[in-house]
Amino acid sequence: MSKIQLVAQANLPTEYGIFKMVGFEFPDTKKEHVALVMGDISNQDEPVLARIHSECLTGDALHSLKCDCGFQLAAALRQISEAGRGVLIYHREEGRGIGLINKIRAYSLQDQGMDTIEANLALGFKADERNFNVCADMFELLGVKQVRLMTNNPVKRIGLEAFGLEIVENIPLETAPNRYNEFYLRTKKERMGHELHNIK
């Protein structure tokens, strides 16, 4: 498979300010990802505030309360806007890489009492099917070598560092739990090692 390529750019005005939207594509599969860039990120001696946000149609666009994804997306864009400089990579790996329809199937299993990991495994997938080396390649094409990464997920950090990205600081991106996503967040903390202090 060919390496991902930067193929398009345009300004994107949002409620958080004006970002440059950068489109990336795999030439062979036409699979697409995007990055939202604010400010001048060309100074390689100054780490860039960054977030990798995995696609979540239900949380990001439909405002689902079953996860914390939409809340994290808004918080990350707000922090980048306040800093005036940063990158949000929108990693199009829906449902931790299992796709939208399988995510709905996993939701059905969760409705029956399974946690997110058990549901993925029951469908024949790993707990997390995402490929973070794609994100490292996107940072490289953007000229970003060092980041202050907004994440609660230690596996994400390890994956990125394995592909050469230097993470100089980890910034928690935690949101308040609700009655619909508390079990989901507890699974993240207890079974996936996420650093979540609002879950006791």
Q: Please list the active-site residues.
A: 128, 130
Rounded Cα distance, 41 and 24, in Å: 18
* Dist. CA 156–CA 5, nearest whole Å: 22
Angstrom CA distances, 166 to 16, 57, 133, 161, stand at 27, 29, 13, 6
How many residues are recorded in the chain? Answer: 200
Q: At what angle do helices 133-141 and 154-162 cross, to 10 degrees?
A: 60
55 in Cβ contact with 31 (< 8 Å)? no
151 and 173 Cβ atoms separated by less than 8 Å: yes
Q: State how far Cα 132 lies from the chain centre.
A: 9
Give the residue from 97, 67, 80 showing the smallest Cα distance to 171: 80
